[in-house]
Amino acid sequence: MGYLGLIIGYLIIVLTPVIGMWHKRFPDLGLKAEHAFIPFFNYWQLLKACKLPRYWTFFLIFPGVQFYMWACLNVTYIRKFGEFGVKETILGILFPYPVFLKISKDKKKYPVAEPTNWDVASQVNSRTPSDHVALFFALPVVGHAIAVPFAMARSNRKPGKKSYYKEWGDAILFALIAASVIRTYVFEPYKIPTGSMEKTLLVGDQLFVDKITYGPRVPMTPFSFPIFHNMIPVINVKSYSTIQTIPYTRVPGIRSVDRNDVVVFNFPAGDTAINDPRMPDGLIGHNYHQILRDEAHYIAIYEERKSLEFFEKNMEYYISKARKRFTDDGVTYSSYIGRDSEKMFTEFNGLLTRPVDKKENYIKRCVAVAGDEIKIVDKELYVNGELAWKSDHLQYDYVLEGYVHPRWLMGMKWSWTKTQHDFFVKNFNAGVSELGATPTDSVLTDSSLFYVSIPMNEETYHKAKKNFPNLIPVHKERGYYRKEIMANRGSYYPVFPNDPSYDWTEDNFGPLRIPKAGDVVQLNHKTLPIYERIIHAYEGHELIEKADGIYIDGKKTDTYTIEMNYYWMMGDNRNGSLDSRFWGFVPEDHIVGHAAFTWLSVDQEKGMFGGGMRWSRMFKAIN
């Protein structure tokens, strides 16, 4: 469809006054009839005649809020001619032309109305139902929950003031429009949900994402409810519609993404997600594509008792079976990874598909840009053959040998004590919520013990090492996951490109070149896992691998020209971050903005009013 959807959207706005025959009634408003034919100026003149802020016209320019403003101006027009009916108000919001045509044809029935006298009960009562409609469209349910209590206390309303329904409807609508424009094109608030960027960013940090630096991205799905990213909480329904879509378009910014920037982006692997009613907002925060591979592996190995070699030769068959299990049969996620502790499976409530701009937002550090080559050796990152820059807060996990994680001592009812918490904070600057568990064996067995692993930066590690000589660095060698799979343990190749040909680990990875627009890459069975999602998921081509070769859009080929720039994102808490090492490249059209500064930070365990305010992090720049 390309830009057709955007063009149609602007055409609707431009042609509405013409189709609605505004020129026949403009003279009654003291305006020139010919002004009704001038795009956008006609709306400017209407606002002038209604003594409303004329700058509202500019909101018609911005995809994402333009139709909210369009609906508001349509309702303003019909009300200027005394039409306050519920049906007409709904039409004014959704499809105003029948009402416009009636107004243009019958001047006697629709004379220019004087402003509502809010002290005359009959005038207030005549418009109250339509004000309810406007308030509902501005903010469903919640708007009324706010306005009704005030409306019930009518004795407190000052003479001549608007009804509470009208006041709240106007206030909410324009607050949402203004907030949406700012959120989309200037800056957006973001809350840190996980510890993947500790200690650079802490769980509970509230920050502003700057959209100007890289250039604001025009909404790809502009028909969406402001303030809600992709789901409306509580009722768990989509907050957007794909009735209008816009190709990736970015307003020119100050610069492009640089190495070492902290960046907010849409989760590339989040185009499909499992909807689980037990999870926050009904969404499993895992990589569906990894879950699909794990389910396929489970079906072959555990249910059908096939060999690993048989599974890998027939992987597409088992992937299809797993996909059918999710989509057609409604069967729950069977794999032992993520099983419910009692039911032994994960509840299933359907699949959710996401357009690019409605995928979940992630935040990581960009460690490599398009054209760079990366390699990880024993956790150390190299970019273009040189040791990469390190943040002062960069953390790795270190194992405290001999200190067995209580989960393996106490069973399912394990917990940390306050004494343990204080011990780790004092000696390692890490709370118990940050601690992990590392197996004592290179390959897991049922008798394996798990020692406590502690995330620390190098300075903290060297200080702690003096008092705890049993504190050691650990890393996963190449081949680690193959051994795990052979022993029927763990996830099926969780590290990108998630294929047996590349048995990399998060600690020993690459070398890998980050694709750049214009790169011509070779395609074969070996390289396809690296470029497969780029070709079909990110750049939208049909991709099929057959016995005689690779076909793109029906044509056999052994090369592909990259269309976009890509980036490599990693968390500063290297062993506590699910990042590009696990799901791959971040396309440029997924970039949301640059993390600018924290404006609020609250320890989630203590809360704002329980002493959890982190005052030193207020208005702190992110670097």
pLDDT score, position 64: 85
Q: DSSP string covering 500-548, please?
A: TT----SSSEEEEEPP-TT-EEE-STTTHHHHHHIIIIIS---EEEETT
Q: How confident is the model at residue 495 (pLDDT cuts 50, 70, 90)?
A: very high
Residue 584: which residues within 8 A CB-CB, separation 6 or more? 268, 269, 496, 497, 530, 533
The lowest-confidence range among 77-91, 133-147, 211-225, 273-287 is 273-287
For residue 596, give the 3-state DSSP assignment: strand
Order of strands, sheet of 509-513, starting from the edge strand that comes earlier in the sequence: 386-387, 380-383, 373-377, 509-513
pLDDT score, position 490: 79
Look up residue 601 and give its DSSP letter. Answer: E
Q: Is the pLDDT of residue 247 over 70?
A: yes
The lowest-confidence range among 123-132, 133-142, 219-228, 384-393 is 133-142
- Across 66-212, the runs of DSSP E, i.e. the strands, are 187-191, 205-210
Mean of pLDDT over the chain: 87
pLDDT score, position 510: 93
Domain ranges, ordered by start, for the chain: 4-185, 380-474, 519-563
Q: Is the pLDDT of residue 119 over 80?
A: no
Compute the average pLDDT of residues 401-426.
86
**CB atoms < 10 A from the CB of 510, how many?**
17
Using an 8 Å Cβ cutoff, are 351 and 275 in contact?
Answer: yes
Q: How confident is the model at residue 259 (pLDDT cuts 50, 70, 90)?
A: very high
Interatomic CA distance for residues 498 and 493, integer angstroms: 5
Report CA torsion sign: 353, 356, 361, 364: positive
349-381 pLDDT tens trace: 567 788 999 998 999 999 999 999 999 999 999
15-36 pLDDT tens trace: 999 999 999 999 999 999 999 9
Q: Is 266 exposed, middle or buried (0-12, 13-18, 19+ CB in 10 A)?
A: buried
Task: Find where tokens 């190709």 sit.
Answer: 247
Structure tokens at 402: 């001999």
Q: Is the pLDDT of residue 115 over 90?
A: no
160-169 pLDDT tens trace: 567 667 777 7
Of the CA atoms within 13 Å of residue 550, those in its CB half-sphere come to 20
